[in-house]
Amino acid sequence: MAAARVATRRRRRSWLVLGGLPAAGVVAALAVAPALVLLSYAFMTGGAEQYDAAPPFTLGNVGDVLSDDANLSLVRNTLIQGGAVAAIGIALGVPMAYWIHFHAGRARPWVLVLLVCAFLQSYLVRLYAFRTILGERGIVNETLLRLGIADEPASWLLFTRFSVIVALVHITLPITVLLLYVGFRPLDRRYIELSDDLGASAIGRWRYVVLPLIAPAAASAAILAFLIAALDYVTPSLLGGPGLATFAIKARSGFQELGNYPDGAAYAWAALLGCAFVGALLLLAVRVAGLNRQEPA
Amino acid sequence: MGSRPDTATGITRRVALRRAGSGAVLLTGLPTLLAACGDDEETGAAATSTGPPKAKGVIDYLGVEGEDGKGVRSLERYLSRSGARLQSTYTAAPAETLQRFKSGRADGVDLVDFSNAQVAQFHAADVMQEIDPERVPNLKNLSADYRGTDKPWYVDGKLYAIPYYNGPFTPVWDTRAVSKPITSWDQYREPSLKGRLGFYSSPEGTLNIAAIATGAAKDPTRPGEVPKAKLGDVSRWLEDVVPNVRSFAPSLGDLVNQFKAREIDAAFGGWAGFAGIAALAGVNTISYTALPSPGAPAAVEVWSVGRDADNADSVLAYMNQVLDPRANGELNLFLAGGPSVDGAYEAVPDLEKVLPKDAYAGKLGTAELPYLQLPPAESDEFITSEEWTAKFTELIGA
């Protein structure tokens, strides 16, 4: 009997493995292979206006990225852009996900559909919409002026780091909230009631009941938001101003303006590895804090 | 460059009847008219009967949107009469066009579009075919400024592309906000413009302008060739402009957006036809200085025949057509630029509103109006494109 059960389980597992192969193939073909090609470019020889990368292999491109002092400002801008968007996204996303999980009631499916719809809107249209909203003659400034809160339009709302971060938060928030909502799913209302009965304070309730359950999802959401924001070059180009260049912008410039693929690839991989490092640090922090157990502390 | 929509008009029954009547009269009198005209005043499709082959089939175009002649009435009419059609693939910039050729994704492209600045690059990459001038009889219409084997569309004395448009970089500003006309590039450094500039972020265009403004180029007619020792001069000049920059525009069309929204009061890196494009977008207050002090780099747009073109004869016919004064005038009105052939202003008087006829006459290729030039990819003497792009990113982005 036991042997038959084991055999059934094995059969099921092999079917699962087989079922997962197409998905794995797609990931390998569409994500891993291009990334590896890009990585190989970073170690090849190229040059301005070559629009190509070819052997001999060299460490020169990577060395240039690591040794150029001017890149420090790119690191700073990349970290601020990604970090601010991830932090604000989590700060806004946690209460939203909490509300959807506990208070949305029958509206919950509709709220989730709305979130997905927000995600499906054209990226460029949203960026141009922000110009209308945040511009000197935009909705925000007009409102501030009409209410007498400001005497003149606030020019810092647009073409600054502020507008870039606001737009990126807007773009990443649906993903952040959806991931956080998934994190809230195992959180039973009875856990909270029980902690209340046991005399936990509001802070204690969050620290020992809610946080351990949602921390892994929050970390995933934060990493994803960070990656999207830090590696985005279109939003800073359309909504940013001087002094906001990032590694992603430098990588784009290597490919598009210079036609130096190895140079662009070295910057692209530097950005990717840097972001992966930040993500790994965040996951490590969650683990060290003991917040990765998926159960109340 | 930006595109301009054609103005469509509705046709009423009365208009249709009138046109049908005119058509009947024309058909009846056509033989007499043809006999009276002789062959001296050949223009448009008539010219194709003597020189170039006739366009037919599909012409595969690769280049920037709007620069294929779509939306230009006389060119569309020509294609339609010939039974040919354009099949266009658009790229964001000539660099992307070159990229496609280099990666083998441009096989069978017949008509290629880029600017004078890229001719050497495209030739080195074996993108285009030599053109037999005999097969493009309308080359005789080229204005004096565009003739001669020393022009950028010739390589080693051989013709590789035909010029159809000229659009120098010019100062552009909104008269509602800037009362003093911007007549020199140095005015862009004045503190009165702080936080009011839109910046078209083209590294090579900016180097050309900075080289002209500072006199840093070794040869003033070649503003892309700036000695390495002058990197400090052009960088310092740009450093004074950057504090005035409010926003960057990834395209010239985006600058129009920003003017329309009144987010910027002036643009660094606009072109003369900008005012016309902005007017179409409802902004009638944009002004420009056609030829700022001490000069401006001019981008001349060209067409060439793709290396593997399978309909090369049709491309030659289409090129011949774009050198017809009316077609060239209409295309330049559409693109808001300066025509490359004589008689375009007379054929299309509205061009005068876009760009005064004599604004650039006799100046193209001189120190006052040098051709836009890319910095060299490799050089021991001049700032290379890699060095400049790195400096440019550092100055405006870091």
Closest to B136 measured CA to CA, from B318, B340, B347: B318
Predicted pLDDT of residue A154: 94
Q: Which residue has the higher pLDDT, B202 or A111?
A: A111
Burial class (CB in 10 A: 0-12, 13-18, 19+), A91: exposed
SS3 B247: strand
Q: Which residues of chain A have pLDDT under 70?
A: 1, 293-297
Indicate the pLDDT class of residue B27, thresholds 50, 70 and 90: very low
DSSP sequence for B180-194: S---BGGGGG-GGGT
* Contact with chain B for residue A257, Cβ under 8 A: yes
**What pLDDT does A292 receive?**
75
Which of A68, A131, A245 is facing B397, going by the closest CB pair? A245
Q: What confidence score (pLDDT) does residue A31 get?
A: 87
Q: Distance (Å, rounded) from C-alpha B137 to C-alpha A32?
A: 54
* Alpha-carbon gap, residue A94 to A225, rounded angstroms: 14
Taking any CB pair shorter than 8 Å as contact, residues of chain B touching chain A are: 92-93, 95-96, 98-99, 102-103, 121, 195, 201, 203, 242-243, 245-248, 250, 254, 257, 261-263, 374, 377-378, 384-386, 389-390, 393-394, 396-398
Chain A residue closest in CA terms to B197: A241
- The answer to whether the CB atoms of A131 and B245 lie below 8 A apart is no
Which pLDDT does position B23 carry in this prediction? 44
Q: Which residue has the tokens 């929204």?
A: B261
Tokens 């595969």, located at residue: B60
Supply the pLDDT for residue A270.
94
User: Does residue B123 register a pLDDT over 70?
Assistant: yes
- Please write the tens of the pLDDT for every residue from A38-62: 999 999 998 888 888 899 999 999 9
Query: Cα(B235)–Cα(B210) distance, rounded to whole angstroms?
Result: 8
| CB proximity list for B163: less than 8 A, separation 6 or greater | B116, B142, B146, B151, B153, B300, B301, B302, B340
Total number of residues shown for chain B: 398
| Most confident region among A132-136, B1-5, B30-34, B334-338 by mean pLDDT | A132-136
Q: Between B169 and B2, where is the model more confident?
A: B169
| Mean pLDDT in residue range B222-237 | 97
Answer yes or no: is the ipTM higher than 0.85.
no
pLDDT band at B278 (very low <50, low <70, confident <90, very high): confident
Given CB atoms, is A244 within the 8 Å cutoff of chain B? yes
Confidence of residue B7 (pLDDT cuts 50, 70, 90): very low
Quick one: average pLDDT of B151-164?
Answer: 97
Closest CA to B64 of B194, B251, B210, B307: B251
Task: Of A238-252, B187-201, B272-286, give the lowest mean pLDDT range.
Answer: B272-286
Q: Do B261 and A132 touch (CB under 8 A)?
A: yes
What is the pLDDT averaged over residues B238-246? 95
Give the CA-trace dihedral at B301, B305, B306, B308, to 10 degrees: 180
Q: Using 50, 70 and 90 to split pLDDT, how confident is the model at B376? A: very high
Q: Do A259 and B263 touch (CB under 8 A)?
A: no
Q: Give me the pLDDT at residue B251, please.
A: 81
- Strand (E) or helix (H) holding B200: strand B197-200
Q: What is the pLDDT of residue B282?
A: 85
Q: Is the pLDDT of residue B38 over 90?
A: no
- Other C-beta atoms closer than 10 Å to the C-beta of B23 total 10
The shortest CB-CB distance from B398 to any of A70, A158, A159 is to A70
Residue B2 in this model has a pLDDT that exceeds 80: no
Contacting residues for A34 by C-beta, under 8 A, at least 6 apart: none
What value does the mean pLDDT take over residues B270-286?
84
Query: Any residues with CB less than 8 A from the CB of B69 and at least 6 apart, and which?
Result: B75, B76, B86, B318, B322, B327, B331
In tens, the pLDDT along B303-324 reads 999 999 999 999 999 999 999 9
Q: What is the mean pLDDT of chain B?
A: 86
CA distances from A201 to A189, A296, B201 (A): 16, 15, 55
Which residue, among A155, A252, A258, A263, would best test binding to B if mutated, counting the most B CBs under 10 Å from its CB?
Answer: A258
Closest CA to B338 of B327, B328, B347: B328
Residues of A in contact with B397 (CB under 8 A): 242-245, 249
Q: Tell me the C-alpha distance between B343 and A142, whole Å.
A: 50
Would you call B266 helix, strand, or coil by DSSP? strand
B261/A249 CB distance under 8 A: no
Q: Strand B154-155 relative to strand B266-271: parallel, antiparallel, unpaired?
A: unpaired
Cα–Cα distances in Å, from B112 out to A73, B74, B107, B231? 39, 20, 12, 34
pLDDT band at B380 (very low <50, low <70, confident <90, very high): very high
Query: Which of A252, A29, A125, A268 has the alpha carbon at shortest distance from B96?
Result: A252
User: How far is the CA of B72 from the CAs of A22, B63, B82, B326, B328, in angstroms?
Assistant: 49, 16, 16, 10, 9
For a pLDDT cut of 90, what percent of chain B falls above it? 68
Exposed / middle / buried, residue A99 (Cβ in 10 Å: 0-12, 13-18, 19+):
middle
Residue A243 is nearest to which of B93, B247, B397, comparing CB atoms? B397
Angle at A22 between CA A19 and CA A23, to 5 degrees: 95
